[in-house]
Amino acid sequence: MSQSFSPQYYETFEFIKSKFSGSNLTLEEARHQMDDMTVPIPDSIIVNEVKLDDKYRIKSKEYLEDGLKKYEDVVDEKWKDLDDGGLYGEWIRVKDEGEDSDGKFKITGRVALYFFGGGYFAGSSKVSRGHTSVIAEKAECQVFAIDYHLSPQHQFPAPLCDALAAYFYLTNPGPEAGFEPIDPKRIVFVGVSAGGGLAVSTAMFLRDVGLPLPSGLVLFSPWVDLTSSMPSYWEPEMDKSDLMLGRLCTPPLGPPGPMSIEYLKRAKILSDKIKQKKPKVVGHDSFTKIPRIRLYCANEALAIPYISPMLAESLGNLPPILCQTGGGERFRDSIVLFGFKTSDPSKYQLPKYATENFDKSPFKKPTKVTLEVYDDACHCFFVIPFEKISQFALNRAFDFIKLHAAVDESIPDGSENSATYENGKSLNAIAINLNCDIRELDAKYVDCLKFENIGVLPDVNEPDYVDNV
């Protein structure tokens, strides 16, 4: 790792990394390790916790049952059971903003719909309050953080169902919500790690079913390739520079516990269904040659675009995207490819097994993308907020939100899909060093565009795969 970071960076880095290690923990213990990182709510911030009416998930479920019909044979059906205690979220806002004359909460200006990170396995709106609070204050917006359900209890597409429900809650609220419908032009999706992948998946699904799109997406180290196929994920030097472990199976199943026992039962049911149905789903032969690797979905489902957006047939016709990655993080190559593929769908039809019908796609317009690679930085480096590049990256995200989320009719719609940069291209790809100097991407960051095994499960020897069903 570069010695240009501050000593506090390394101390915080090692502390956070310790939360990701420990294969001797049960799933319950591993989740608690990552969730036990809450921070106090700043005095300048007010948090309003809410429970969404079931009607939003019911509406979301109706759309998903139709839109995911071709994938149903490789998906755990438990997601359709909405009798799970309901869906919760929280509003984060600056004090004295967003109140009417009698002090009641109201929606004003721009809104960030926030999706936390945690590998679809851990995380919550509460753990994310340090991040959502600063977004509310610095991006001059109100943040709604949704507590989407987590695997292994709630596998794909349960989080997507929750994300859509949250969007419906914002754009078509009922009387119980206490606010008027929010124009999608005032909404930006903000996603971290797995939440970044979920933000893209939600936008893609809205696009695919013809529903209004948000004005933009801000993605911090998004998890867009659940096959872990790209070279940077397996580079040995990442052991020193990244928080993430170089494993195909994360988190490991660990010792038996209530969560893992129930999970193995569900995985066996799904595995038997797949063997019986023998469904034809887009994927690669490598998916079925090793045991299941994810708590979130079966191997046969890994190439579903709402699971691994990097593998999608086309990522065109989406709202403008700001995508940030650390140069020292394992997800770097997948994020770089995602940025190029999104901004130039016709050129980057990869992987071939998932894009063979691209010519028939109605979504070929380049998406406007700002791709930023921060030299040597780790996964989600913004969580070390006192570092210079963290502040720089966050400020660029705040500016993006303020630019693209319209607060009055005089501001043009930031989600115009045909918008391009001055050079006529839809991609602004840059690298930023530790002094926050900006330059064009180095060759080492774009070599991944030549990689041939995109979306192919690596042949690695891990004795403790998620299961052996």
pLDDT digits (tens, 9 = 90+) for 172-183: 999 999 999 999
Tokens of 46: 């007010």
Query: What is the CATH number for 57?
Result: 3.40.50.1820
In a domain, 457, yes or no: no
pTM recorded for the entire structure: 0.95
In a domain, 458, yes or no: no
| % of the chain beyond a pLDDT of 70 | 91
* pLDDT greater than 60 at residue 3: no
Please state the rounded mean pLDDT for residues 47-59. Answer: 97
In a domain, 455, yes or no: no
In a domain, 333, yes or no: yes
Nearest to 202 by CA among 115, 119, 121, 144: 115
Nearest to 335 by CA among 283, 377, 293: 377
Nearest to 324 by CA among 370, 365, 388, 364: 370
Banded pLDDT at 418 (limits 50, 70, 90): very low
Banded pLDDT at 151 (limits 50, 70, 90): very high
List b or e across 287-319, with b for residues whose CB sees 16 or more CB atoms inside 10 angstroms: beebbbbbbbbbbbbbbbbbbbbbbbbbbbbbb
Banded pLDDT at 408 (limits 50, 70, 90): low
Nearest to 316 by CA among 352, 369, 357: 369
23 close to 254: Cβ distance less than 8 angstroms:
yes
In a domain, 304, yes or no: yes
SS (H, E, C) the chain: CCCCCCHHHHHHHHHHHHHHCCCCCCHHHHHHHHHCCCCCCCCCEEEEEEEECHHHHHHHHHHHHHHCHHHHHHCCHHHHCCCCCCEEEEEEEECCCCECCCCCECCCCEEEEEECCCCCCCCCCCCCHHHHHHHHHHCCEEEEEEECCCCCCCCCCHHHHHHHHHHHHHHCCCHHHCCCCCCHHHEEEEEECHHHHHHHHHHHHHHHCCCCCCCEEEEECCCCCCCCCCHHHHCCCHHHHCCCCCCCCCCCCCCCCHHHHHHHHHHHHHHHHHHHHCCCCCCCHHHHCCCCCCCCCCHHHCCCCCCCHHHCCCCCCCCCEEEEEECCCCCHHHHHHHHHHHHCCCCCCCCHHHHCCHHHCCCCCCCCEEEEEECCCCCCHHHCCCCHHHHHHHHHHHHHHHHHCCCCCCCCCCCCCCCCCCCCCCEEEEEECCCCCEEECCHHHHHHHHCCCCCCCCCCCCCCCCCCC
Banded pLDDT at 252 (limits 50, 70, 90): confident
In a domain, 182, yes or no: yes
Please state the rounded mean pLDDT for residues 135-143. Answer: 97
In a domain, 265, yes or no: yes
Q: What is the mean pLDDT of the chain?
A: 91
Banded pLDDT at 199 (limits 50, 70, 90): very high
305 close to 414: Cβ distance less than 8 angstroms:
no
Tokens of 152: 């292994």
Q: Provide CB contacts within 8 A for 295, sequence distance 6+.
A: 27, 120, 121, 151, 152, 155, 251, 263, 466
pLDDT digits (tens, 9 = 90+) for 325-368: 999 999 999 999 999 999 999 999 999 999 999 999 999 999 99
Containing domain of residue 239, as a range? 7-450
The Cα 234–Cα 239 span in angstroms is: 9
Which of 149-153, 242-246, 274-278 has the lowest average pLDDT?
242-246
In a domain, 467, yes or no: no
299 close to 293: Cβ distance less than 8 angstroms:
yes
Number of domains, the chain: 1
pLDDT digits (tens, 9 = 90+) for 308-317: 999 999 999 9
321-326 and 369-374 beta bridge pairing: parallel
Please state the rounded mean pLDDT for residues 401-418. Answer: 62
* pLDDT greater than 90 at residue 429: yes
